[in-house]
Structure 1
Amino acid sequence: MNTLAILLSDTYKQVHHNMFPRGLTKLVSYWTPRRSMLKEQDHMVFFGLQAFIKEYLITYFKRDFFKLSTDEAQELYTISMDIQLGEGNYDISPILKLHELGYLPIQIRALPEGTLVPMGVPCIEITNTHPDFAWVVQWIECILQVELWKPCAHATIGHMYRELANFYYKKTCDDILRPEMACSDFGMRGMSCMEEAERCSVAWLLSFDKTSTIPAIDYLDKYYFNDCSVSHIGIGAISTEHAVMASNYAVDGDEITFVKRLLTELYPNASFSMVSDTYDYWNMIDNILPACKKEIMQHNGKLLVRPDSGDMVEISVKTIEKLWNTFEGSVNSKGYKVLDPHIGIIYGDGCTLNNVKKVWEELEKKGFAANNIVFGVGAFCFSAVVEPDGRMVVVTRDMFGIAMKATFGEVNGQPIMIYKDPKTDVSHLKKSHKGCCHVYYDENGELRCRDGYDSFVYDGALKTVFKDGEMCYVETFKKIRNRLNGGN
C-alpha cells in the first residue's frame, strides 16, 4: 500500500480541522474498551500499539508523506479529495502545513502492552504537542482503530484458551509440562489478508508457543525485538494434508504403505501429524495403526493422528481410549493416564473454547491427562466466540465496544470539558468520559479510571510511548508476554 499517509482515514476526517472551535489549541482523546459482549470475559488484552506506531506513525508517514515533495503530496491529496468531496469543498492548507512541519505533533501515552484491561478504562491517551495541530489527535482515530482492535481481540481470545489450558494442565498433567504448547494457531487461511494473519498470529503467541503462520516470525523480530530462534516462540509442525494422503493412496492402492514410509523413510527422527480421515478414520485407528505398531514404537518421534471431521468431542476421547488400548502408556504423578510418547492426537477442526473444554472435561473423567491431545485453533474461532450457552459472538470492534473519544480541549487558553451523553442511548454505552482521565491501580490491583480533570494526571498507569514522530519507550515481546501470563 502506498496511499498518501494523511489519506488513511474516513472521508469526514479530512474536513474536521475546519469544524473544531476557532482558537482550539489543545485536544485530548482516549481509546477505550467500553463493554464486553462476552458473558465470561470482562477484560481485554491490550496489544499491538508498538507495532502500529513503528509501522504507520513513523515508517509509513516518513515514506509516504513527510519525505515527499510539497508538490507531490499536494497532487496526491487533491486527486483523491476531488473525487471524494469535489473541488473547492475542502481545505488543503492544514495538510500542507503539517507536511511542512515534518513530523506528527502528537503525544501518545498508554498502558503497557499485555495488560488485562477492565471495561471502561482507557488504554491510550492522545494529545497534540503543537497548538496549530489539535485536529491531528482525532484524525488518528480511523487508522488506530482499524489496526489495533483486532490484535487486542485475538490476544484476548488466545488468553482465554491459555487460561483453560492452565486449569487442565495444572489439574491433570505433570508440573514440568507447559500449557503454552497445548494449542497452535491454524488460522492463516481464514484471515482476510496476510497483514491480518501475521498480526493476529503474533497476538496468539502472547499465550502460546506454536503457530503455523510463518510471517509472524518476522513480524515479531521487526516490531517486538523477538528472535524466535532463541525464544523458541513461533514453533510449527510437520504435517500431511488430504492431497498428500489421497495422492499416495491413488498410487499405492492402500494407506498403510504411506504411513510406514512417513515413519521409516521421510521422518524417522522427527515428530509429525498425519491427517487420518481422508477415507475411513476408524479403520486407520483400529487396523492400520496397530499394524504399524512396530514402526511407531521404533520411530524416534511422535506420530500425532489428526481427525478432521465429525463430532470433535466424541472422536477425540474415543481415539485416545483406543490408542491407549493399542499402545498403552503410563500414569503420571497426579494419577492420570498418559499415552506412550510415540503416539498422540491433534485436532484442528471446530476447536472452539467450548469444544476444547468438553474434550478436556471428558478426558479428566476417564482418567486421562490433558496433554494427550493438542489443538489447532483455526479461523472460525478467531472470527466468533461460542459462549457456554451456545450463543455466538462475532469478533468485531464491537465485541469490546472499543471507541476513541475526545474529552478535553483548550480554546483561547481556556479549558473545555468535552463529552457525549445521548439521551436516546438506552444501553448507556455511548456516554463518554469527560475531561482528562486518571488511570490508576486501586488497592486490589485492579485498573480504574477517574475522569473530570482539567489537566493531565502524570502519576497514573499511562506512560509516554510516542512523541513528535519518535518512539519514547519500547518493550520486548518477552516482557509483554510475561506481563500477561504472570511470568509464565
Structure 2
Amino acid sequence: MKRENLILLADAYKYAHHKFYYPGTTQIYSYLESRGGVFDETIFFGLQYFLKEYLEGPTFTQQDLDEAEGFLQQVFGRDDVFDKSKFQYILDKYNGYLPVKIKAVAEGTAVPIGNVLMTIENTDPECYWLTNFLETLLMQVWYPSTVATLSNQIRKVISRFYDETATPGAEAGIDFVLNDFGFRGVSSVESAQIGGAAHLISFRGSDNLAGSGMAIQYYNAVKVYGLSIPATEHSICTLLGREGELEIFKHVLRSFPRGTIACVSDSFNIFKACKEYWGEELRDEILNRDGTLVIRPDSGDPIMTLLKIFEILFESFSFTINSKGYKVLPPQIRVIQGDGVNYDEIIKIYNALKTNSISAENLAFGMGGALLQKIDRDTQQFALKCSSAVINGQEVDVAKSPTEMDAEGNITSSFKKSKAGRLKLVKINEVFKTVNQHEHPELTDELHTVFENGKLVKTISFEEVRANANFKA
C-alpha cells in the first residue's frame, strides 16, 4: 500500500518557514516535552510507530513532489510560498531519506512532567527548515503517550484498592481488570491501533484487536497481548423479548459450559435478572460451572446500580469475608462495569465498594471512549519547541518566555515558558531531570539516538516497553 505523501503531512503555515528563518540559519534543534497536565508523569510511547510508518527510508518520490507542488500552489494561491527545490534537494542528494537526527527516552519510561522526552535536529545545514516541518507529524506521539499514561494511572488506582481490600494473591488478576472497549469509539482505525497498543503496556484485557496487531507489527511483540472472552451484546439478549430473557441466559451458559463468559443483563431489568434468573433459576448451574460468569450492567447510575447488584448477588450466591474484612463472591460469579467508566468514576466506584465492605476483586471494568478518545494534546500539555539554533556559524540558545494576564487582570509569567539550549535527560538520585548538555558530564544521558538520516538506528520491542513501565511480558 502506498505511503502517505510526507510532503503534505504538515500544517500549511510551515511551508513558508524556510523564508522566515533568519538569513544564515543552518541548524534548528527542538525538543518535545509534556509541560504539565492531569497527571504528574507521562509514559513516553509511540515514537517507533511514527518513525517506521512515516519517516523510515525513502519518504517521498518525484511523483509525490510533483503532486505536492500543484496541490500547495492551490492552497496558497501563489507560487512563492512552497519551494519545491527544498524537497528536490533531499530527493536528489539523499534519495528521499530525511537528514535529521532524533534522540528519545526509552519508550515505556515514566518521566515526570516538565522534562525533555525527545529531541530532533537537522544533520544537513541546507535542511534547517526540516526540523520543525516534522513537528506536525511527530507531535502526534502525544496520543499513544497520553493513552499509555492514563491506562497506567488507572492501574495504580486499581492496585491501591486491591492492596486495601482484595484477598492476598488476587492482584495476579489485575492485568484483566481494565479492558479496552474503545475500538468503536475512536476516530480512526489508526487511533484504535496506536491507542490500543498503548493500553497493552499496563493491561492485557482488550477487545481491541488492532492494538495487539500494532504491537506485533511495529514493536515486534512475540505474542498477542490483548486477550478477551466470549461475551454477549443486547442483540443476543433481546432476541426473545422480555419473556424470553431467561431462555437466552440458559442458552448463553450452555454455549460455553466452561471458562469465563460475560453476559449483558440490563436489557429489561438488571435487578430481576440478577435475583430471579442468575440468582435463583440458574444459580446451581453457575456454581457448578468450571468457570466464571461475569454479569454486565450497562445503564443507570454506576455506583447505585453496582451496590444494588452486589447486594442481590451476595444474598443469592453468599460470600466469604477475606483476611482484610471485605466481602468476596464465589469465584464462579463476578461483575463488569462498562458504562460511564472513566478515571474519576473508577475511583468513586472503588470508594463506594470499600465503604460497603465489598472487595475490589469482585469487579472488572470496560473502558471505551474515555480511554482512547476523551483525551487531547492538552491532557498532558505536550509541546515541541526550538531550544537551540546555529546562525551564521554561531550556536545560540533559543527560548520563549511569555508574559500573560490572568483572569483577575494580573500580569504573570506563563507556564508556556520553554527551555533553552541543547538538552539532555539525566537521573539525579533516581529522579529524572532535564539539564543543559554541558551540565553533569558524569551522568548518562537518558536520551538515545533512535533515528538518523532516514534510518532507525535503535529499536525497542514491546516486551522492553512493558518492562520499562514495570510490567513483564
Q: What TM-score do you get using the length of structure 2 for normalisation?
A: 0.91
Aligned residue in 2 for 1:45? 43
2:82 is equivalent to residue 96 of structure 1 = no
2:461 is equivalent to residue 485 of structure 1 = no
Q: Aligned equivalents of 1:478 and 1:127: distance in 2?
A: 29
Shift of 1:381: 4.7
Aligned residue in 2 for 1:387? none
Worse-superposed segment, 291-300 or 48-57:
291-300
Q: Aligned equivalents of 2:141 and 2:117: distance in 1?
A: 11
Aligned residue in 2 for 1:284? 273
Q: Aligned equivalents of 1:205 and 1:212: distance in 2?
A: 11
Q: Aligned equivalents of 1:57 and 1:123: distance in 2?
A: 18
What is the one-letter code of the residue matched to 2:80?
N
- Where 1:12 maps in the other structure, the secondary structure is helix
Q: Aligned equivalents of 2:34 and 2:228: distance in 1?
A: 33
Q: Aligned equivalents of 1:413 and 1:427: distance in 2?
A: 32
What whole-Å deviation, never above 9, does each CA across 1:204-263 have from its counterpart, x for those lacking one? 11111111111112101011111334xxx201121111111111337xx42111111111
Shift of 1:486: 6.2
Aligned residue in 2 for 1:164? 157
What whole-Å deviation, never above 9, does each CA across 1:454-476 have from its counterpart, x for those lacking one? 9x999421111111111111112
Aligned residue in 1 for 2:125? 131
2:221 is equivalent to residue 226 of structure 1 = yes
Q: Aligned equivalents of 1:458 and 1:338: distance in 2?
A: 50
2:351 is equivalent to residue 353 of structure 1 = no
Q: Is the 8 A contact 2:401 2:413 kept in 1?
A: no
Q: Is the 8 A contact 1:435 1:453 kept in 2?
A: no
Q: Aligned equivalents of 1:235 and 1:94: distance in 2?
A: 47
Name the CA shift for 1:2/1:483 in 2 (closer, same or farther; >3 Å): closer
What is the one-letter code of the residue matched to 2:447?
L
Task: List structure 1 segments (4+ residues) > 6 angstroms apart after TM superposition.
Answer: none
Q: Aligned equivalents of 2:75 and 2:138: distance in 1?
A: 22
Name the CA shift for 1:354/1:458 in 2 (closer, same or farther; >3 Å): closer
Q: Aligned equivalents of 1:424 and 1:223: distance in 2?
A: 42
What is the one-letter code of the residue matched to 1:461?
E
Aligned-pair RMSD on alpha carbons?
2.2
Q: Aligned equivalents of 2:364 and 2:437: distance in 1?
A: 49
Aligned residue in 2 for 1:316? 306
Q: Is the 8 A contact 1:172 1:370 kept in 2?
A: yes
Shift of 1:172: 2.2
Q: Aligned equivalents of 2:164 and 2:416: distance in 1?
A: 42
Worse-superposed segment, 355-364 or 108-117:
355-364
Q: Is the 8 A contact 1:433 1:451 kept in 2?
A: no
Q: Aligned equivalents of 1:315 and 1:324: distance in 2?
A: 14
What is the one-letter code of the residue matched to 2:257?
P
What whole-Å deviation, never above 9, does each CA across 1:167-199 have from its counterpart, x for those lacking one? 111222234332222110111211111111121
2:469 is equivalent to residue 469 of structure 1 = no
2:13 is equivalent to residue 18 of structure 1 = no
Q: Is the 8 A contact 1:228 1:234 kept in 2?
A: no
| Candidates 119, 137, 150, aligned match of 2:113 | 119
Q: What TM-score do you get using the length of structure 1 for normalisation?
A: 0.89
**Structure 2: stretches of 5+ with no match in the other structure:** 406-411
2:177 is equivalent to residue 197 of structure 1 = no
**Structure 1: stretches of 5+ with no match in the other structure:** 385-394
Shift of 1:2: 4.7
2:294 is equivalent to residue 296 of structure 1 = no
Shift of 1:310: 0.7
Aligned residue in 2 for 1:389? none
- Where 2:56 maps in the other structure, the secondary structure is helix
Shift of 1:482: 2.1
Q: Aligned equivalents of 1:293 and 1:427: distance in 2?
A: 64
2:255 is equivalent to residue 260 of structure 1 = no
- Where 1:405 maps in the other structure, the secondary structure is strand
- Where 1:228 maps in the other structure, the secondary structure is coil
Aligned residue in 2 for 1:392? none
Q: Aligned equivalents of 1:458 and 1:441: distance in 2?
A: 7
